[in-house]
Structure 1
Amino acid sequence: MSVSIRFLPDNITVEAEVGESLLDVADKVGVFIPTGCLMGSCHACTVEIVGGDVIRACISPVPPASEELVIQLFSDPSWD
């Protein structure tokens, strides 16, 4: 099952498979999500599902969604 994911603020849309790593999906379309520990502890990869939860992209799979999943990227200059 695939899900359409749109990354803001760059407005980049990609099709991804449910269960695929959100960090991998972003990487394959050139969307930069900073990482630190790759275990979710440092919160460097924190993103927001618009209208939903704040998650850590390094440990979060693409969830099933009936409509487009919109991801708002945070900007933290300490991780750039």
Structure 2
Amino acid sequence: MIATFLCLTGLLTTRWIYSGHFPLSDLYESFIFLSWSFSLIHIVPYFKIRKNDLTTITTSITILPKALLLRVF
């Protein structure tokens, strides 16, 4: 999940630099931002309270927008 978070952060940053606006203008960018957000939601509690209860839920929610992207595009 950390590698996914870092890759999504890099992707969002490069899209922001090249497009000149925050990457939320179309469905693709919105799904990538949604995946990034859920990755962050997964990482923060994992390192803060060291609980793995949310791991299954947040990981599957993080993967869902990516699966929808493959279906849409």
Q: Which has the higher contact order (CA 8 A, sep 6+)?
A: 1
Normalization by structure 1: what TM-score?
Answer: 0.30
Normalization by structure 2: what TM-score?
Answer: 0.31
**Larger helix proportion, structure 1 or 2?**
2
**Higher radius of gyration, 1 or 2:** 2
**Larger strand proportion, structure 1 or 2?**
1
